[in-house]
Amino acid sequence: MIELSNENALDERQAARDREPHREFVYAALALVAAALALILVLGGFVYLAMQGHPTEAKTLLGAGVLGLIASFLRARLRPRD
């Protein structure tokens, strides 16, 4: 088993702390991409249902989809930070 000296262990911990902002940025960017994709899918479903003669279902899908996305953003913003 390889033992790390205290200096090497401190360097590893510092390197992990230095990578954290990058991980947070990637997480935020992926969340935005996922939200944009979800919005596009909801709008596509709305158009499809409206074109197929189901206006009530289309309105319900649009309302629930948009409200779900808004609720997701609010939950993410209001979540306490660690």
Per-residue model confidence (pLDDT) at position 34: 87
User: 35: closest CA among 75, 80, 8?
Assistant: 75
- In 3D space, the residue among 60, 66, 59 whose CA is nearest the CA of residue 41 turns out to be 66
pLDDT of 2: 56
- pLDDT tens for 19-75 read 888 888 898 888 889 888 988 998 899 999 999 999 999 999 888 888 887 888 778
Are 35 and 69 contacting, i.e. CB atoms less than 8 angstroms apart?
Answer: yes
69 CB contacts (<8 Å, ≥6 apart)? 35, 38, 39, 42
Q: How far is CA 13 from CA 1, 52, 61, 78, in A?
A: 19, 57, 47, 29
The answer on pLDDT for 8 being more than 80 is: no
CA distance 8 to 36: 42
Q: Is pTM beyond 0.75 here?
A: no
pLDDT at 7 over 70: no
